[in-house]
Structure 1
Amino acid sequence: MNATPPGDPGAQPDARGVVAANASARAKVLGWARRSIDLVPTSWLITGAGAVLLGATAIFGGLEAAAVDPTPTVDVGETFEGSDLEMTVVGVELSDDPDNVMVFPDEEKGERVLVVTVDVVNTFDKPRPSSDNEAGSPVLDGIILEGLDERPSISRADDGLGSPRLQPDVPARLLLAWVVGPDDFHDGDEVHLTLPDSTHYVGKSVVRGDYWYDVVVGATVTATVEEVTSP
């Protein structure tokens, strides 16, 4: 029995032609992609790249937050060192007529005086003022009591001298006083204070001398108001 010979497979495609056709197709696709990208605003590309980066970071464990030191918290009676001062909040008192303060409440309005007693030591090697009347003060009038916008009046607890200078390494007990309304504070209220810190700078050209600038909150103190009845 005679076998029928296989049919002619016909002409086979040329390998070089296939490669050329594929290269041409890729070139068309890449050219279209480049033209499309050129039409997209640069800001969109940056935003998109950022989104891709954030997405990839989230997949691989998230962004690692930069370490930020929390603001220290000190207790009443505990010393904080900032702005070349040692500051110790001793207590907070509410009174009608405290001694040795430089503020004067209006009795007819029912005003009272809130007094924060602070022990301070100037650890700098020169005398310094206890207040400098600046919005961001690095010294004692830079102590802020939450809820009061006014700066405190400062005086010595022993003789009432106002805005005393702080001698190097000489402890001083100071009174920071505010006039407050009859319903602003009460016995047993919890109040929050911030103590200032800053950077020491020595002026050497146009402005000379020692300065403390870049004032920040160095520490916070929580205290309880004690009402003092006048004798």
Structure 2
Amino acid sequence: MTATPPTAPAGRRAFGWSRRMLDRVPTPWLITGGTGAALALTAAFGGLNGVSEPQIPELTVGESFSGSDLLMTVIGVELSDERAGSGVYPDAEKGERVLTVILDVTNEFTAPRTAASGGADSPVVDGITIEGVTTTPPGLARADDGTYGIHLQPDVPVRIVASWVVGAEDVQDGDEVRITLPDSTHGVGQAITMGDYWSDPVIGAYVTAEVDEVEVP
């Protein structure tokens, strides 16, 4: 009597058939198919959606913004024929005028800083602009005595005037302007540049304000 070979369980037969069929599929197909499946799964769970850029805050006069280790609050925007102690000098024959942003600034860093264009704290100055109106860093001075090279002691608020020369048609009394306030990255120099500095300035906040025509201060 001839012995009958034992019959493989159904599960094993199915696995064997699947394995044989899989061996016949070209490897590139497997790679492509697997990648597609992974991408489909990732997309289904939102993995392909880029991380949305953080929205730049939109502020109004009197609201504060903390950036570049400074707390900045725009108090107002003034337009005048000239401004003593501003560090900018309009040409009256050309119809030039002085546009000034008044703001309170508090140094939130642990050491004193100097607000001056082109220095370690240049983002403090260069990042303050009026969108569509100014293209250069402003003249910067203390509001109370017109002192240049402003020293900012930690946690001591200082009222500052940032001023530009503008053309007669650039901005008018009652115009609404959009001011940019800076944010930047704090670094510590280890080689050529020594000490603390702030670099890579970006727009940290917008402040919308109305221009106020004033007599020559």
Give the TM-score band, short-chain normalised: 0.7 to 0.9
Correspondent of 1:137 among 122, 125, 134: 122
- The answer to whether structure 1 residue 156 and structure 2 residue 131 are counterparts is no
Confirm or deny: 8 A CA contact 2:101 2:162 kept in the other structure: yes
| CA-to-aligned-CA distance 1:40-90 (integer Å, 9 cap, x gap) | xxxxxx9xx99x78x968x96985342321112222111111111111111
| CA-to-aligned-CA distance 1:4-49 (integer Å, 9 cap, x gap) | xxxxxxxxxxxxxxxxxxxxxxx9xx7xxx9xx9xxxxxxxx9xx9
Correspondent of 2:80 among 95, 109, 118: 95
Confirm or deny: 8 A CA contact 1:141 1:154 kept in the other structure: no
Instruction: Look up the equivalent residue of 2:213 and give its one-letter code.
Output: E
Q: Hey, what's the Cα distance between the residues in 2 that align with 1:229 and 1:205? A: 49
Confirm or deny: 8 A CA contact 2:140 2:163 kept in the other structure: yes
DSSP-derived class of the 1:160 partner: coil
Confirm or deny: 8 A CA contact 1:78 1:88 kept in the other structure: yes
> Gaps spanning 5+ residues in structure 2: where?
1-23
TM-score (norm 1): 0.70
Which residue does 1:228 correspond to in 2?
Answer: 214
**Greater Rg by CA:** 1
Instruction: Look up the equivalent residue of 2:89 and give its one-letter code.
Output: F
- Which residues of 2 match residues 37-76 of structure 1 at below 5 A? 63-76=48-61
Q: Hey, what's the Cα distance between the residues in 1 that align with 2:187 and 2:44? A: 45
The alignment yields a C-alpha RMSD, in angstroms, of: 3.3
> Gaps spanning 5+ residues in structure 1: where?
1-26, 38-45
Which residue does 1:124 correspond to in 2?
Answer: 109
TM-score (norm 2): 0.74
Give the 4+ runs in structure 1 shifted more than 4 A: 59-63
Q: Hey, what's the Cα distance between the residues in 1 that align with 2:199 and 2:207? A: 22
Confirm or deny: 8 A CA contact 2:142 2:158 kept in the other structure: yes
DSSP-derived class of the 1:138 partner: helix
Which residue does 1:218 correspond to in 2?
Answer: 204
DSSP-derived class of the 1:105 partner: coil
Q: Hey, what's the Cα distance between the residues in 1 that align with 2:202 and 2:122? A: 9
Q: Hey, what's the Cα distance between the residues in 2 that align with 1:110 and 1:206? A: 45
In structure 2, do the counterparts of structure 1 residues 80 and 60 end up closer, same or farther at CA, with 3 Å as the change threshold? closer
| CA-to-aligned-CA distance 1:151-190 (integer Å, 9 cap, x gap) | 1000111111123121222211111000011111001111
Confirm or deny: 8 A CA contact 1:93 1:114 kept in the other structure: yes
* % identical equivalent positions: 51
Instruction: Look up the equivalent residue of 1:173 and give its one-letter code.
Output: R
Aligned length: 193
